[in-house]
Structure 1
Amino acid sequence: MRAWGGDQVTEAVAGSVELLRTVTDRDWTGVRAGRLEWTCRRTAEHIASDLLAYAGQLAGRAQTAYVPFELGFEEGTDQAGVLEVIETTGALLAATVRTTPPRVRAFHPYPFRSANREGFAAMGIAEVLLHTHDIAEGLGLAYEPPAGLCESVLTRIFPHVRPGPEPWPTLLWATGRGDLPGRAPVTGWRWNNNLVLPTGRLTLEGVTPAAAADLAAGGDGGFVWLGDAPFEGTREVAAGLLKAYDSGVHRPEFGALVLVRREDGRAVGSLGFHGVPDEEGRAEIGYDLVESARGHGYATEALNALAEWALARDGVRLLYATVEEANTPSQGVLARAGFVRADVLEEEPLLADRTLRLYTRRA
């Protein structure tokens, strides 16, 4: 998967500035920006502030809160000057994204308290696209960014949003700025950066729809794999995640995660859920490892961490996994991770294939 983020930030900023330069002689201070309470001038300043803030978070590796600084404009800065600041802060974010290692995380509150370089790039791009739309709407300008930019934002920080016929109207709808046929208006929304769970030797990184699409197509999903490629089960899980995303039932916290070794940043396998918990609070879980990573306890470590995290959530009371009778290594993994062989009564509603064995772990 080709490195993503820096070039796209540059593209988004260039398109915004190109449009807004055509109206620097207009009044931005006395005109409201679209549906916002802010003026067009205030909104343009906000774009620059957010680009700088995201660059600062990522460059400084902030871990617990926003870095306590803000952007100020010199008195007398005109509209053209504001656009220069947007270009400059956009360049700072683009450079930071390009030079930050892919596994680095920094603080962002929504929803799991951190984001990686792709997350910060996607949030920066979204700020540019959406607020340029707001300003353009206030000033009566036509604006439609490239569909590829919109889709890349949706598949990275809006994984819970079912794709629409076109990416730009979908992004506008998802942020309360437009309507989509058959969908209720959005009145509140947040970014949704991917889940990350640390363990002793591993980091479990949530798979975004963008990464899943690459994995399902035979790519690496943005990971450096031990043995140069994931096990086939990971690609199947990615394809299932994409199917759920396309149908609007994907929930990122009950998706898939890749196991990344802390010692060298190599991906060694994947694990995750086969879907959201059912009405009884039961969720099925699965996992696999590349062959050269087996026998080192990675699956047990990851499975135990994910089980503890999931069973602490409201609405989850039981996790279960199915395994072939002859697969004793996998049965050992489940046992070491606190799962127990289910009795006959538990198997009836959960296990249709009688050649498999069911293991469960309760809250």
Structure 2
Amino acid sequence: MRNVGGEYVTEAVAGCVETLRPAVARDWTRVRAAGLEWSVHETAFHIADDLVSYAANLAGLAQDDYVPFEIRLDDGTDNSGLLHVIEATGALLSAAVRTAPREARAFHPHPFRSANREGFAAMGIAEVLLHTHDVAGALGLAYEPPRHLPEFVLTRIFPHVQPGPTPWDTLLWATGRGELPGRARLAEWRWNNNLVHTTERLTLQGITPAAARDLVMGGDGGFLWLQGGPFEGTREAASFLLKAYEGGVHRPEFGVFALVRKEDGRAIGGMGFHGVPDEDGCVEIGYDLVEGARGNGYATEALEALRAWAFAREDVTSLFATVDRDNHPSQAVVTRAGFRRVGEGEDGLLAYELPR
């Protein structure tokens, strides 16, 4: 899956500037942006401020907070100058996304305190699209971005939102700006960057709906795989994730994770949950590894990390797994992680359970 985030940031910014330029002669300080407490001028400046903040955090690999600086406009800067600032800060974020290493992650507070290059691109694009909508609405200007831009945002940082009739209508609804048939209007909202768990040798990187779709279509999901990967089980799990997303029941914290080695950045398998916990607090877990990565304890290491995370939650009381009767290495993995065998089905699968 090609890294298109930087290109899309540039395209979003170009659409913003093209839309707003016809109104540069108006006084933007005296018009309030649609649905906001800010003026049009303040909202336009906020776009630039977010773009440069995201660029700085990603390029500087900030880990604990935003890079401590602010931008300001020179005295006397007119609206045309402000649009130029949006163009410049957009170019900085685009460059940061295009040049960031695949495994780069940097600080963002919501909701898991970090984002990768796709996450920063999606957040930047969201700020541009949504606030251009707010400003254009206040100024009486027509605006609707091309379909692929809100779709990029939704499939990266709104995995919990069921797709609607169009990506743009869905994004407006998901951010409290519009209505969709059969759905209550939102008063509060928040995006979700992918969750990452870290172990001594691995990062377990949450697979987004965009990555899942690419895996289902035979792609790499945006990961650099060890030879032989991804294994068929990972593609199958991605298909289940995609169906849950399209059905509006996907919860990213109970999704699928790509297992990526720290030493070389190569994905070696997939591990994740089959859905949210049931009414008794039981959640099923599954996994696979590329053949060349087996026998090194990676699966056990990853399973122990997900076990610890799950049991730190109040809504999980037990973990469940099924293993083929002839798959002795996999049986050893769940046993080392503390699971005990609780039954055998007619399909030849052994059932294992681990209570809290």
TM-score interval (norm. to shorter): over 0.9
Matches within 5 A, 1:264-303: 264-303=264-303
Contact 2:228 2:291 in 1 (8 A): no
Which residue of structure 2 lines up, in the alignment, with residue 160 of structure 1?
A: 160
Alignment of 1:256-271 (within 5 A): 256-271=256-271
1:206 aligns with 206
Identify the residue that residue 23 of structure 1 maps to in structure 2.
Answer: 23
Give the match for residue 311 of structure 2: 311
Asked whether 1:237 is paired with 2:237, we answer: yes
The alignment's TM-score, normalised by the length of structure 2, stands at: 0.98
Structure-1 residue corresponding to 2:191? 191
Q: Aligned pair count?
A: 356
How many angstroms does 1:354 deviate by?
5.8
Aligned residue for 1:313, secondary structure, equals coil
Structure 2 distance, partners of 1:175, 1:188, is 8
SS at 1:357's partner residue? Answer: strand
Which of 328, 341, 357 is 2:350 aligned to?
357
Matched residue, 2:109: 109
Residues 260-285 of structure 1: per-residue CA shift (max 9 Å, x gap) = 01110110000000111011110000
- Counterpart CA distance in 2 for 1:9 and 1:116 is 15
Gaps of 5+ in 1: none
Secondary structure class of the residue paired with 1:29 = helix
**Letter of the 1:190 counterpart:** R
Kept in 2: contact 1:29–1:40 (CA 8 A): yes
Alignment of 1:342-353 (within 5 A): 342=342, 353=346
SS of 1:296's partner is coil
1:92 Cα deviation after fit: 0.3
Runs ≥4 in structure 1, deviation > 2 angstroms? 351-355
3-state DSSP of counterpart to 1:341: strand
Q: Which residue of 2 aligns with 1:46?
A: 46
Does 2:329 match 1:329? yes
Amino acid at match of 1:38: W
Letter in 2 for 1:47: I
Alpha-carbon distance between aligned partners in 1 of 2:3 and 2:311, rounded to the nearest angstrom: 35
Which residue of structure 2 lines up, in the alignment, with residue 77 of structure 1?
77
| Superposed displacement of residue 41, structure 1 | 0.5
Contact 2:6–2:98, Cα closer than 8 Å, also in 1 = yes
Contact 2:229 2:268 (8 Å CA) reproduced: no
Identify the range of structure 1 (316-325 vs 6-15) with the bigger mean alpha-carbon deviation: 316-325
CA RMSD for the aligned pairs? 1.0
Counting aligned pairs with the same residue, the percent is 67
Q: Secondary structure at 1:309's aligned position in 2?
A: helix
User: Which residue is 1:60 aligned to?
Assistant: 60
Question: How far is the alpha carbon of 1:228 from its aligned partner?
Answer: 5.0
Residues 78 and 353 (structure 1 numbering): CA distance in 2 closer, same or farther, change over 3 Å? farther
The question of whether the paired residues in 1 share the 8 Å contact of 2:106 and 2:115 is answered with yes
Structure 1: how far apart are the matches of 2:142 and 2:179? 17
Distance 1:352 1:150 in 2: 45
What SS class does the counterpart of residue 203 from structure 2 fall into?
strand
2:22 partner letter = T
Instruction: Provide the C-alpha distance between the structure 1 equivalents of 2:229 and 2:22, rounded to a whole number of angstroms.
Output: 49
Amino acid at match of 1:361: L
Confirm whether residue 132 of structure 1 aligns to residue 132 of structure 2.
Answer: yes
| Aligned AA (1:316) | V
How far apart are 1:4 and its partner, in Å?
2.2
Change (3 A) 1:131 1:30: same
Structure 1 pair 314–50 and aligned structure 2 pair: CA distance change class (3 A): same
In structure 2, runs of 5+ residues without a counterpart are none
Q: What's the CA shift for 1:353? A: 4.7
Q: Report SS of the residue matched to 1:134.
A: helix
Find the counterpart in structure 1 of residue 340 from structure 2.
Answer: 340
1:202-223 residue CA offsets vs partner (Å, 9 max, x unmatched):
1110000000000000000001
Map Cα deviations across residues 160-218 of structure 1 (whole Å, 9 max, x no partner): 00000100010000000000010011111111000001111111100000000000000
Once residues 257 and 263 of structure 2 are traced to their aligned partners in structure 1, the CA distance between those partners, rounded to angstroms, is: 18
The answer (yes or no) to whether the contact 1:311–1:362 under 8 Å persists in 2 is: no
Whether the 8 Å CA contact 1:226–1:292 is kept in 2: the answer is yes
